[in-house]
Amino acid sequence: MGQPRHRIAVIPGDGIGQEVTPVALAVVDAVARRAGITIEPVTHPWGCDYYRDTGRMMAADALDRLRDSDAIFLGAIGHPSVPDHVSVWELILPIRQRFEQYVNLRPMRLMPGVSGPLANVPAADIDMICLRENSEGEYAGVGGRVHRGTPDETAVQTGVFTRRGIERIVRYACEVARSRPRRLLASATKSNALQHSMVLWDDVVDEVAAEYPDVTVRKYHVDALAARMVTHPRTIDVIVASNLFGDILTDLGAAVSGSLGVAPGANLNPERRHPSMFEPIHGSAPDIAGRGIANPIGAIWAGALMLDHLGHRDLHDRVVTAIERVLADGRVRTPDLGGQATTADVGRAVVDALS
């Protein structure tokens, strides 16, 4: 039998995406190579520069070209010259939707040695993972805008919640909760105000939870859950949330974990009918792009999640342990974490810490 090979479609994208992506892939390659696994990256030049040149965020046949890869690695998308709704709706969301990446998984941990913004909260107290519904809900794109430019101008943006969509994300979240020692699941709701969509959400949570008697499921209104993530983060383990709620809660989770630059994300098609996509959760950060000081840890950790998805849990663990070592040691850190190291320095330190 030959050695495993994985074909990875790589979209470095814009701004610091261009800087953190090669560093993350170098770590993935180093750990895979030592295990006799070949990573074959195929890089695509899509993003806002491509849009300025061609009027499109990605090639017309992009989705066909991505279809056969084992996974997709994305750096970051966005530039001040291109409206965000263009860059998001013409690149990120088509990939998520076409490839049925209905799970958005985001670990949020305060790593040892990193000081977060919450006073007197030890690293061990912030260890959460959010499963965000990634295919419908508030970001379904249903609605319209009429009477443009007149005093009667009106916009309607409709949330779309389906039993099937809610059920599959809640079931996935219950499985994740079951795999963790605390077996706690917090469902983010707002059924007091959203009496249609979030009441359906709550009903389906109850039904699915009944299949998981070993998981403790609690419902929180999303505003109360946001407050709890700050005041009692230790009480939160796994979170399941709709598209909008999960988007907001995970930025909060990244903030209480010390830096947006540390947090990874995975867009998963759990049935593996289509490739899944892995990315740091930060954006293109135009304010620091081009200076070589972006923190690559979020991208490296996203690479670890990709290895896990490709069937190499052991390699995931080795990369995360290497990240923990570098952060705990504290000598090699980018400026967002109070250090003076470059993106490349951090990448090299993580590779050195792999052994």
Give me the residues that bind ligand ATP (CB under 6 A), please. 16, 78, 260-261, 282-285, 287-288, 294-295, 298, 334, 336
Q: At what angle do helices 343-352 and 297-309 cross, to 10 degrees?
A: 40
212 contact partners, CB below 8 Å, separation of at least 6:
174, 177, 178
Q: At what angle do helices 197-209 and 163-178 cross, to 10 degrees?
A: 40
Active site residue 247: yes
Active site residue 214: no
Q: Between residues 271 and 287, which has the closer beta carbon with respect to ligand ATP?
A: 287
- Give the CB-side neighbour count of residue 315, counting CA atoms within 13 A: 26
Q: Is 199 exposed, middle or buried (0-12, 13-18, 19+ CB in 10 A)?
A: middle
Token pair for 323:
């990240």
- Per-residue b/e over 223-258, b at no fewer than 16 CB within 10 Å? eebbeebeeebeebbbbbbbbbbbbebbebbbbbbb
Active site residue 251: yes
Q: Between residues 49 and 167, which has the closer beta carbon with respect to ligand ATP?
A: 49
Write down the catalytic residue from 14, 29, 237, 247: 247
The nearest distance, CB 166 to ligand ATP, in angstroms, is 26
Closest by CA to 187, choosing from 127, 249, 234, is 249
Give the residues across from 221 on adjacent strands.
Answer: 189
The nearest distance, CB 88 to ligand ATP, in angstroms, is 8
Active site residue 223: yes
Write down the catalytic residue from 102, 139, 172, 212: 139
Q: Between residues 78 and 107, which has the closer beta carbon with respect to ligand ATP?
A: 78
Are the C-beta atoms of 343 and 19 separated by less than 8 Å? yes
- Give the CB-side neighbour count of residue 248, counting CA atoms within 13 A: 12
Largest CA distance in the chain: 69
The nearest distance, CB 299 to ligand ATP, in angstroms, is 7
103 three-class SS: strand
The nearest distance, CB 183 to ligand ATP, in angstroms, is 32
The nearest distance, CB 272 to ligand ATP, in angstroms, is 28
**Closest CB to ligand ATP: residue number:** 283
Q: Between residues 87 and 269, which has the closer beta carbon with respect to ligand ATP?
A: 87
For tokens 């560093």, the residue is 23
The nearest distance, CB 264 to ligand ATP, in angstroms, is 11
Q: At what angle do helices 17-34 and 343-352 cross, to 10 degrees?
A: 10
For residues 304 and 151, give the distance between their C-alpha atoms in angstroms, rounded to a whole number: 51
The nearest distance, CB 82 to ligand ATP, in angstroms, is 11
Q: Between residues 166 and 332, which has the closer beta carbon with respect to ligand ATP?
A: 332
Q: Between residues 7 and 89, which has the closer beta carbon with respect to ligand ATP?
A: 89
Q: Between residues 159 and 298, which has the closer beta carbon with respect to ligand ATP?
A: 298
Write down the catalytic residue from 190, 212, 219, 345: 190
Active site residue 139: yes
Write down the catalytic residue from 64, 203, 206, 223: 223
124 three-class SS: helix
Are the C-beta atoms of 100 and 269 separated by less than 8 Å? yes
Q: Which residues are annotated as catalytic? A: 139, 190, 223, 247, 251
